[in-house]
Amino acid sequence: MKKLDNKVVFITGGASGLGRASAVAAAHEGAQVVIADLPNSDHQAALDEVKAAGAEGWFVPLDVTDPANIRQAVAATVEKFGRLDVALNNAGIGEGFFSFLETSEESFRRILDVNLTGVFVCMKYELAQFVKQGGGVIVNMSSLAGLKGAPGLSAYVAAKHGVLGLTKTAALEFARRNVRVNALCPYYIDTPLLKDAPPDQRQQMVAASPMKRLGRADEVAKAFIYLASDDSSYTNGTQLVIDSGVIS
């Protein structure tokens, strides 16, 4: 018996980085995996990996800044698989490091739109489906930046703190409906999101890690499987920190 046997797992931003590693990990655990990502994302490579892990994978185009598109993507998933058991709200962007005074309102709004409002709207449609079918699990991708400040990342930090607020509130509102809602808080993980970080910034990220390395996407995916599966059946409204000890 695998941890997610026959579960339908919906992953936003599933074509790359942490979403993709989580999709592959879910496939290894017996899930049917829906990769929901931008139409121009590298979803075929992710689907191939999911297939190689032995699961049925399916791509649904999704832009989390478009509420109608989110409603359609969740509905299409339910239409294809009959239900939705686990949602990983993971789609997110970074926009480099800018001091508070250099951060434009436009950039602030863009980050909040994808990284916070996108999560809220996804949760709304996922929770509605969970209520209809009698339960489900949400895992939201926050960040260590959801728990502490980070100079140069005001919008990102605000969004990721907000994701934890949504996580705790939904966990309380739906706790008696067989729904659990938790979040992941990774430190810097070596994914395409960091591809534009200058070498000196990367070195600082490594230096600040007690283990003196960045995390790997598969290390976050393992934490996702824990929160997605019945292994965490009494865990609700909290966050799992994956940070080599940075926050300690």
Q: Are 87 and 228 in contact, with CB atoms under 8 Å apart?
A: no
- CA-CA distance, 30 to 234, in Å (whole number)? 22
Measured from the CB atom, is 67 or 133 closer to ligand NAD? 67
Q: Between the CA of residue 102 and those of 20, 106, 139, 219, what are the distances in Å?
A: 33, 11, 32, 34
Q: Which of 125, 156, 187, 188 is catalytic?
A: 156
- Residue 240's H or E segment, with its range, is strand 239-242
Interface residue with ligand NAD among 8, 10, 16, 87 (CB under 6 A) is 16
CA distances for 194 relative to 100, 169, 199, angstroms: 21, 30, 10
Write the interaction track for ligand NAD spanning residues 169-188; mark x where CB under 6 A is met and - where it is not.
Answer: -----------------x-x
φ and ψ at residue 152, rounded to 5 degrees: 90, 0
Q: Least distance from C-beta 14 to ligand NAD, angstroms? A: 7
Angle among Cα 232, 28, 239 to the nearest 5 degrees reads 30
Which of residues 16 and 232 has its CB atom nearest to ligand NAD in the complex? Answer: 16
Question: What is the closest distance, in whole angstroms, from the C-beta atom of residue 145 to ligand NAD in the complex?
Answer: 7
Instruction: Report the nearest approach of ligand NAD to the CB of residue 123 (Å).
Output: 14
CB 11 within 8 A of CB 88: yes
H or E element, residue 173: helix 154-174
Q: Which stretch binds ligand NAD (CB under 6 A): 48-56, 85-93, 125-133, 167-175?
A: 85-93
* 201 in contact with ligand NAD (CB under 6 A): no
Q: Which is nearer to ligand NAD, 129 or 191 (CB)?
A: 191
Using the rule CB under 6 A, which residue among 193, 197, 206, 246 binds ligand NAD? 193
Alpha carbons 85 and 163: distance in angstroms, whole number? 20
Task: Locate the DSSP E strands across the chain.
Answer: 8-12, 32-37, 57-61, 86-89, 136-141, 179-186, 239-242
Q: How far is the CB of 148 from ligand NAD (least distance, A)?
A: 12
Phi then psi dihedrals of residue 97, to 5 deg: -105, 120
Which range binds ligand NAD by CB under 6 A, 62-70, 101-109, 120-128, 228-236? 62-70
Q: Pick from 11, 32, 92, 138: which binds ligand NAD (CB under 6 A)? A: 92
- End-to-end CA distance of the chain: give it in Å, rounded: 36
**226 flagged as catalytic:** no
Q: How many residues bind ligand NAD (CB under 6 A)?
A: 28
Residues 20-49 that bind ligand NAD (CB under 6 A): 37-38, 41
Are 18 and 223 in contact, with CB atoms under 8 Å apart?
A: no
**List of residues contacting ligand NAD (CB under 6 A):** 12-13, 15-19, 37-38, 41, 62-65, 90-93, 114, 141, 143, 186, 188-189, 191-194
User: Could you list the active site residues?
Assistant: 156
